[in-house]
Amino acid sequence: MRKQIVAGNWKMNNDLAESKKLAKQVVKKIKKGKIKDTKVIIAPTFVSLASAVKATKKSKVKVAAQNMHFEESGAFTGEVSAKMLKSVGVKTVILGHSERRAYFGETDAILAKKVDAALAHKMTVIFCFGEVLADRKSGKQEAVVEQQIKNALFHLEGTAFKNIILAYEPVWAIGTGETASPEQAQEMHAFIRTTIKEKYGDEVANSISILYGGSCKPSNAKEIFSKPDVDGGLIGGAALNANDFYAIINSF
Ligand code: PGA
């Protein structure tokens, strides 16, 4: 089912105590507020996942990991598997974030394996992709995004997409303060939905949620979320402040 979703990617921020505090603040705001239909997800670092699961237990807030390895276990120093995430109660994972691609060498081929591993564990995947500035300047943004989606996801059956959330994040807008205009976001989201439709048909295309990410904040979320093909946001910087994050959730 196509849902409104706001997910907070905390990146490498907040230690255990700070994460616990922020998770509790988010839960409190959601409980007090009148958020009904919007799904809320927070993604702290690995070390804070278990405590965030505990802090959000009696709420509608879900906890996601920011990454995982595709193998179950073994000699992969510094990595964490789907099974390990599930053992602390985490059932959602962000995969393919541009920072993982740029700084940690994650390729489409690696991401395809990660997606498979997460789905095999019945996890929900927030799959990120997006063009860099040079692609956009040369008008290649759609071709780049299409390839990223095809390479990592198009080996899947249509039914797999009920456990996938897409996140379009133009790299030039991440953490830069520069946001895609609502029109640019809508144009790309419509293109993404059409790409899914051409391969998997109307039902899959119309039921998948496509989030926008890249300097989304309380002042611009409402306009971006009002676009017909934008189903919510993946929020970085503004998710580190409970008031701002809540204001974004409240933007629908
Ligand atoms: P930002 O990050 O909101 O700080 O631009 C978004 C993201 O990287 O998910």
- Domains of the chain and CATH, by start: 5-132+144-197+216-250 (3.20.20.70)
Looking at residues 207-215, what average pLDDT do you find? 97
69: annotated active-site residue: no
213 forms beta bridges with 234
Looking at residues 149-156, what average pLDDT do you find? 98
For the Cβ of 158 lying below 6 angstroms from any atom of ligand 1, the answer is no
Ligand 1 center–CA 248 separation, angstroms: 13
Catalytic member of 69, 97, 99, 131? 97
Ligand 1 center–CA 213 separation, angstroms: 6
Picking from 175, 252, 184, the residue whose alpha carbon sits closest to that of residue 216 is: 175
What's the pTM value of the predicted model, to 2 decimals?
Answer: 0.98
For the Cβ of 237 lying below 6 angstroms from any atom of ligand 1, the answer is yes
Q: How confident is the model at residue 178 (pLDDT cuts 50, 70, 90)?
A: confident
The pLDDT value recorded for residue 222 is 97
Ligand 1 center–CA 45 separation, angstroms: 15
Q: What SS3 class is residue 215?
A: coil
Q: How confident is the model at residue 34 (pLDDT cuts 50, 70, 90)?
A: confident
Least confident of 101-105, 177-181, 203-207, 244-248: 177-181
Q: What is the radius of gyration, based on Cα positions, of the chain? A: 17
Is the pLDDT at 1 greater than 80, yes or no? no
The pLDDT value recorded for residue 35 is 84
Counts of helices then strands in the chain (DSSP H, E): 11, 8
